[in-house]
Structure 1
């Protein structure tokens, strides 16, 4: 009997528009680490439609097995077993990767965890490889919509360490970790897709 699959409506809503960007950004054979795989809906959709990629799911040690019902049912040859990943660990202990994707994680993580994620991404990517970060973001301390402001309040009520992150802060930690913001794509529902690249010397 197959385990009941977890479900995220947000993943269903945004998976196709994200796929269209990733198809361009990850055009050649690559192994892509997904940080915060969650239900696994994104992993299945992207791996199925981008068969040239090897998709490496990962999530927090307390959550990394959540995606297994989706991954098992899909049974795709280019999805690896999900990894337990604590972004704050000094050594991520992951296979060699050539790109990173993460959706709706920066506002769930604490700020030190966001900093650790950027540090780990930079440590595991080579020059010019891409880190794609999807979600809502603020600009110069301002919300881009009333709904994002309400969402931020909701997050902080759950945990004061959560919250929508500001682009000025993200650019600073990007710069500290040799990650340069290459593109900032407008996406549905007041979200963005940020494309960072490891600065090459």
Structure 2
């Protein structure tokens, strides 16, 4: 699964720590949503952790939970480990090199799954893999949390998101903003129901699904 690189190398640790500027802008809003949906204890699996900045911040915000970061890119896994070491967050496990399209995920059973800013910068098959494996791994009532820009039939798409869509397609025709209705249909096929849609900063949304 190829993903775009919306990060830069931290000059203090060249080749290891990466920085995604959007993380600082959206992490508090995401934590506010997660406070309402995450369990009190258990393993939380993050798919496509990218630089690792989100999962490190989540680890600090939820010290009673254990977080399992993952990413298909070895450089991202290296960045995740570097951020974890730098911030000394004890409840974050070593990153797994994991592709959402894989038919088997070598992870402990999760109590929740998080996926932030992956769906639009990966082929549709990655979303299919995410939903299928989440459906197999999560127990009834457990949440699957998605964050990013999406299309909606009843909401006019912001110009910034339209421009972003063109940029994504110019890099890979398999990428692009997905329609919420398509995500809902995929979720339903894999035993989920959408619990909520939450407006987020910068024309993004949170989608919260629950395993039935």
Bin of the TM-score, shorter chain as denominator length: over 0.9
Q: Distance in 1 between matches of 2:195 and 2:125?
A: 23
RMSD: 1.5
Partner SS for 1:91:
coil
- Correspondences of 1:1-201 after superposition (within 5 Å): 3-4=13-14, 5-62=17-74, 63-140=76-153, 144-199=157-212
Quote the offset at 1:102 in angstroms: 1.0
> Displacement of 1:134 after TM fit?
0.3
Segments of structure 1 that go 5 or more residues without pairing to the other structure are none
Report which stretch shifted further, 27-36 or 127-136: 27-36
Structure 2: gaps (5+ residues): 1-11
**Is the CA contact 2:39–2:111 (under 8 Å) kept in the aligned structure 1?**
no
Deviations 1:156-194 (CA, angstroms, capped at 9, x unpaired): 001000000001111111111001110100000000010
- Residue-pair matches, total: 198
The CA deviation at 1:65 is 2.5
Aligned-pair CA distance for 1:61: 4.3
